[in-house]
Amino acid sequence: MSLRSPLGKVLGQGSAKDGVHHWWVQRLSSVALVPLTVWFVVSLLSLPAIDHATITAWIGQLWSAVFLILLVITGAWHSQLGVRVVVEDYVHGHGSKALTLALVTFFHVVVAAAGVLAILKVALGGAR
Amino acid sequence: MADFRLPANSRIRKGNTHRAPAGALALRTFRIYRFDPTSGENPRVDTFELDITGCGPMVLDALIQIKGSIDSSLTFRRSCREGICGSCAMNIDGLNRLACTTAMEDLGRGDIHIYPLPHMPVVKDLVPDLTNFYAQYASVKPWLVTHTPPPPDRERLQSKAEQEKIDRPAACILCACCSTACPSYWWNSDRFLGPAALLAAYRWIIDSRDEATGERLDALEDPFRLYRCHTIMNCTDVCPKDLNPAKAIAEIKRMLVERTS
């Protein structure tokens, strides 16, 4: 039980002076994902065949590799921003929240790094 | 973590049934949430059969009738009975609304379910504890803040267009229907200000006479105070005054982005 005044509780530690950047980048990345996703789906559907040789050859083309890398980075970034909000909404303990947020960030960085490396490897001819 | 079940002492048990006397002409059945903090018992839902012959048309009229003729311990807030004081906000058939402006006829023919505003501590029966809600309203400084001294011979002037901007947002009656309909407010009402307080903040942010716009925006720029709003828009759906808190919040977010570039 606390005897702190209701207004004191609401004012709390004050404004974090943060959140605009997160909100704006989330909007910006969602806008960027629209053409990237459309391009990805249309490109896959217009391939003559969906087999290993065709796909690797497609990834080997310069612009395919560029857009694929952008899709992976933008997708991971957007997802990280979104999952962060979900965690902040539902995980309330300070310790468990900080830990979950750290794990969420690491997970997205690993996914993005692995995705980019995989694309580069195929595009630059390192993989067979 | 978020709670998915009510705490053990909040779970609702079966309540009492008050049958209407034989020969009732027009019967309506009400299922009303009851909680008495002095009894030490869990809340219950009581069933009241009411003959609405001679009763007014609104849900509030029926509640007053029940209190007057069946169970005088039924507790609820009411005052103006014309939708301007905001006292009788409650959850009627699943939606937050004012009992005084909700006609029984518009609720269909079935039982009428009445609960207090959702996810608030209950003082008794249909009376929620709005202490935190009012503190959040106070925290946005709902008054004119200026540096320029007022003109000595008259009031601070506004153009007609400037006044019209605050017309609608200023019509809020603080009934709390919007905030208590918002899932973000349910999960984080300790840090998220909620649609009502944010609408009030917006009303002062866009007031042409106010000179603290920047400080007001500073105070809201926070992942929880403002950005817990995920544009679910229950607030705008339920507002009994047809106001648009969701749009006000979107406008605040727009202003915050605009001032960065």
Tokens matching residue A96:
């468990």
Residue matched to tokens 């939606």: B95
Measured between alpha carbons, how far is B234 from B91 in angstroms, rounded to an integer? Answer: 13
Q: Hey, where are the domains in chain A?
A: 20-123
Strands B89-92 and B44-51, bridge-based pairing: unpaired
Q: Is B187's CB within 8 Å of A89's CB?
A: yes
What pLDDT does B111 receive?
Answer: 97
Picking from B4, B120, B139 by the largest number of A CB atoms within 10 A of its own CB, the best residue to mutate is: B139
CATH of domain A20-123: 1.20.1300.10
Q: Which CATH class is domain B131-258?
A: mainly alpha
Provide the phi-psi class of A83: left if phi over 0, else alpha when psi is between -120 and 50, else beta: alpha
- For the cut 70, the answer to whether the pLDDT of residue A128 exceeds it is no
Query: What are the angstrom distances between the C-alpha of B90 and each of B67, B136, B175?
Result: 16, 20, 9
Per-10-residue mean pLDDT of chain B, 261 residues long, equals 79 94 91 96 97 95 97 97 97 98 96 97 97 98 97 95 97 98 97 98 98 98 98 98 98 97 87
Measured between alpha carbons, how far is B36 from B20 in angstroms, rounded to an integer? Answer: 24
Cβ atoms within 10 A of the Cβ of A50, count? 9
In this complex, which of B138, B227, B230 lies closest to A19 when CB atoms are compared?
Answer: B227
Strands B95-98 and B27-34, bridge-based pairing: unpaired
**Distance from B230 to chain A by nearest Cα, in Å?**
9
Picking from B227, B253, B258 by the largest number of A CB atoms within 10 A of its own CB, the best residue to mutate is: B227
In this complex, which of A5, A18, A96 lies closest to B222 when CB atoms are compared?
Answer: A18
What ipTM goes with this model?
0.91
- For the cut 70, the answer to whether the pLDDT of residue A126 exceeds it is no
What pLDDT does B67 receive?
Answer: 97
Taking residues A54-82, report their average pLDDT: 96
**Distance from A16 to chain B by nearest Cα, in Å?**
5
Q: Is B227's CB within 8 Å of A11's CB?
A: no
Relative orientation angle of helices B245-258 and B213-220, to the nearest 10 degrees: 100
What pLDDT does B23 receive?
Answer: 86
- For the cut 80, the answer to whether the pLDDT of residue A1 exceeds it is no
**pLDDT tens-digit map of A8-17:** 999 999 999 9
Q: Hey, where are the domains in chain B?
A: 8-128, 131-258
The answer to whether residue B251 neighbours chain A at the CB level (below 8 Å) is no
Q: Which CATH class is domain B8-128?
A: alpha beta
Provide the phi-psi class of B40: left if phi over 0, else alpha when psi is between -120 and 50, else beta: left
Tokens matching residue B57:
């048309």
The answer to whether residue B253 neighbours chain A at the CB level (below 8 Å) is yes
In this complex, which of B138, B222, B230 lies closest to A15 when CB atoms are compared?
Answer: B222
